[in-house]
Structure 1
Amino acid sequence: MSSTTPKYFDRRFQFQLLHPKFWPTWLAIIVLVIFGLMPAWLRDPIARLLARLVKLIAKKPLRVARANLVTCFPEKSDAEINQLLHDNIENFVMILLAQSELLVRSSENLRRRVELEGFEHVQQARDAGQPVIFIMPHVWGIEYAGLRLNIELPMVSMAKPHKNKLFDWFNNYMRSSKGGNIYMREAGIRALLSELKNDNSFFYLPDEDLGPDKSVFAPFFATVKATLPVVGRLSAAGNAQVMPVKIGYDQQHRKYKLTVMPAIPPEQMQGKESEAKALNRAVEQVILAYPEQYMWFLKVLRTRPLGEPSIYKDKKK
């Protein structure tokens, strides 16, 4: 691939994906499609039952999630942590089983399923001729948020490839179903800057721990977190506004509530330390809106200050 070729995920179907080694994956996709076609009133109770099984087998992810929750919320009791973990798994299974509806159901269905609030902030930016960098951490409903917004304005995205080529094709075909290109990670910041200049908006996920190189430690709930401060320079170079976005699944009404929050003032994004604090504050706001729907199993606190031990090491008795 030449340096001038856009590093998009290839959405074209390859006949090699019909190889027998992918048949179990095809079966899994068929099951997900069936669930995606189901009405939520039928699918959600099934998800609650399956969540019990996930809770029994997902021991390692649960240890990571518990370590994150205890570190971020030391004031919470064991009972409160356990309830958060239970609700987290339940929401994960519900949203996972429903997700194929983003591909197999209509845009009108997506509009009905995802109630959008705060879009006036986006419209103001659009009226001023500015694209938007949406700030959203890793929450279970992120795919719903991205595609719902992609109905309203041009967007692109960036994703890490899945090891399974068939799932990789399926996921990115779904993510690009409303017209947005999906970049590979190695495309880098330059590709995103180019998209901003072409009037395309995108999501930036600032909660991922990318290691100590170029990261800055900033307050994050009751601890500190290594945060990569690149959004300020990216938004300034691309003349973009930076807006946090929160989304949560309402089990009672079987709908998602998607809220675009006001733009972060540009002066808060100047300087690495200032930007890291602003990004972490935005992430905290989004998580606290639906704490049971954040991907707590991710090692978002892997990088620690010098001399501080890992929070993920198993405590052997």
Structure 2
Amino acid sequence: MARQQKHFDTRFNAGLLHPRYWGTWLVILILSLFGILPAFIRDPMSRVLAKLVMRIATKPISIARINISQCLPELTPDEVDSLIRDNVEAFILILLSQAEMLFRSNDHIKRRVQLQGFENVTQARAAGHPIIFIMPHVWPMEYAGLRVNIEIPMVTMAKAHRNGLFNWFSNRLRSSQGGRVYMREAGIRALLSELKKDNSFFYLPDEDLGPEQSVFAPFFGTTKATLPVVGRLAKAGNAKVFPVKIGYDKKAMVFHTTILPALDPDSMVTKEDESLVLNQIVEQVIKAYPEQYMWFLKILKTRPPGEAELY
């Protein structure tokens, strides 16, 4: 079993109809209905719901406030509050939209997700390279992954949800373009194996995975523990590494997705260099759409020796 590639089974099974999932089925039905609504109707509704979430999501908002204050110390308290309100609104808007990726056509997805810079990916693949896309945890990251998966074969990796039905639904969405979704336990070896099969994937370098093998590097106005594995993966899998940014344009009601130029392999020779480069990429992507980053994550959980815990 230890050698078996672990990926999610997205086939339907009768166990998903168990009464303990009936409440989840109702949520999925509601999300599906929102997913097929036109954006000009759905978006204003999300803004109203965001006001309710601001009142009840006290713990996530507290984490977001700590993160923003640490990363962007130049912001005034009022500016921090404004950014949090915009962040919650972006979360609700994209949550209510996501089901469209499962139920709407590829032509619809291409209209909704405007893709720029993909010619660089095409050139790299023509030269025989699979691709590692670098993107932090932003609310519309699923849109970026699905949009790119329309163009090239992709795999991804995700943490399992405790709710089996939601786990099935979210991974059906992620694999709707034929991509395979690995469990996190599959590890780096599974991703390396996929690179050698000419499959590409997104790597999210901003998650705090603890002190083991992580390197501390500057990050905005603070310091962050970063796991430097991309350089080794790219070298072993003969892959090119492309940063990606995505953000929702409320006026045009489309997602702008941009593939940035490939990273220079020489910039990631040492773990310290790679950690610095990865953090700089995360900063660059967040700065493009700061209100659409997942500020509620405990991205600063691991602190340098001698520093107090933040959460």
TM-score w.r.t. length of structure 2: 0.99
Secondary structure at the counterpart of residue 116 of structure 1: strand
Give, in whole Å, the separation in 2 of the partners of 1:126 and 1:73.
38
Runs of 4+ in 1 over 3 A off after TM superposition: none
Deviations 1:77-135 (A, max 9, x none): 11111110010000100000000001011111100000000101111111111011000
Secondary structure at the counterpart of residue 101 of structure 2: helix
Give, in whole Å, the separation in 2 of the partners of 1:262 and 1:109.
27
The amino acid of 1:127's aligned partner reads A
Give, in whole Å, the separation in 2 of the partners of 1:79 and 1:199.
48
Consecutive unaligned residues in structure 2, runs of 5 or more: none
**What is the CA-CA distance between 1:56 and the residue it aligns to?**
0.4
Match of 2:123 in 1: 124
**What is the CA-CA distance between 1:311 and the residue it aligns to?**
1.7
1:162 and 2:161 aligned: yes
Give, in whole Å, the separation in 1 of the partners of 2:72 and 2:159.
29
Match of 2:30 in 1: 31
Give, in whole Å, the separation in 2 of the partners of 1:89 and 1:11.
30
CA RMSD of aligned residues (A): 0.6
Give, in whole Å, the separation in 2 of the partners of 1:38 and 1:238.
41
Secondary structure at the counterpart of residue 11 of structure 2: coil
Give, in whole Å, the separation in 2 of the partners of 1:94 and 1:73.
24
Match of 1:82 in 2: 81
Match of 1:174 in 2: 173
Secondary structure at the counterpart of residue 172 of structure 2: helix
Give, in whole Å, the separation in 1 of the partners of 2:205 and 2:120.
20
Match of 1:98 in 2: 97
Q: Which moved more, 1:50-59 or 1:2-11?
A: 2-11
**What is the CA-CA distance between 1:4 and the residue it aligns to?**
4.1
Q: Which moved more, 1:295-304 or 1:71-80?
A: 71-80
Match of 1:202 in 2: 201
Give, in whole Å, the separation in 2 of the partners of 1:272 and 1:5.
29
Give, in whole Å, the separation in 1 of the partners of 2:99 and 2:52.
21
Percent identical: 62
The amino acid of 1:72's aligned partner reads C
The amino acid of 2:174's aligned partner reads R
The amino acid of 1:67's aligned partner reads I
Give, in whole Å, the separation in 2 of the partners of 1:222 and 1:192.
32
Once the two structures are superposed, the pairs formed by residues 54-69 of structure 1 within 5 Å of their partners are 54-69=53-68
**What is the CA-CA distance between 1:256 and the residue it aligns to?**
0.2
The amino acid of 2:32's aligned partner reads V
Give, in whole Å, the separation in 1 of the partners of 2:172 and 2:72.
37
Give, in whole Å, the separation in 2 of the partners of 1:120 and 1:262.
10
**What is the CA-CA distance between 1:5 and the residue it aligns to?**
3.0
Secondary structure at the counterpart of residue 9 of structure 1: coil
1:110 and 2:109 aligned: yes
Once the two structures are superposed, the pairs formed by residues 242-261 of structure 1 within 5 Å of their partners are 242-261=241-260
Give, in whole Å, the separation in 1 of the partners of 2:309 and 2:84.
21
Secondary structure at the counterpart of residue 224 of structure 1: strand
Give, in whole Å, the separation in 2 of the partners of 1:5 and 1:116.
35
**What is the CA-CA distance between 1:3 and the residue it aligns to?**
3.5
The amino acid of 2:167's aligned partner reads D
Give, in whole Å, the separation in 2 of the partners of 1:269 and 1:203.
18
TM-score w.r.t. length of structure 1: 0.97
The amino acid of 1:236's aligned partner reads K
Give, in whole Å, the separation in 1 of the partners of 2:130 and 2:309.
39
Once the two structures are superposed, the pairs formed by residues 1-317 of structure 1 within 5 Å of their partners are 2-312=1-311
Give, in whole Å, the separation in 2 of the partners of 1:282 and 1:242.
11
Secondary structure at the counterpart of residue 157 of structure 1: strand
Match of 1:315 in 2: none
Give, in whole Å, the separation in 2 of the partners of 1:188 and 1:311.
28
Secondary structure at the counterpart of residue 225 of structure 1: strand
Secondary structure at the counterpart of residue 251 of structure 2: coil
Give, in whole Å, the separation in 2 of the partners of 1:29 and 1:86.
25
**What is the CA-CA distance between 1:6 and the residue it aligns to?**
2.3
Give, in whole Å, the separation in 2 of the partners of 1:97 and 1:279.
30
Give, in whole Å, the separation in 2 of the partners of 1:3 and 1:154.
26
**What is the CA-CA distance between 1:14 and the residue it aligns to?**
1.3
Secondary structure at the counterpart of residue 8 of structure 1: coil
The number of equivalent residue pairs is 311
Give, in whole Å, the separation in 1 of the partners of 2:254 and 2:216.
36
Secondary structure at the counterpart of residue 166 of structure 1: helix
Give, in whole Å, the separation in 2 of the partners of 1:288 and 1:298.
17
Secondary structure at the counterpart of residue 248 of structure 1: strand
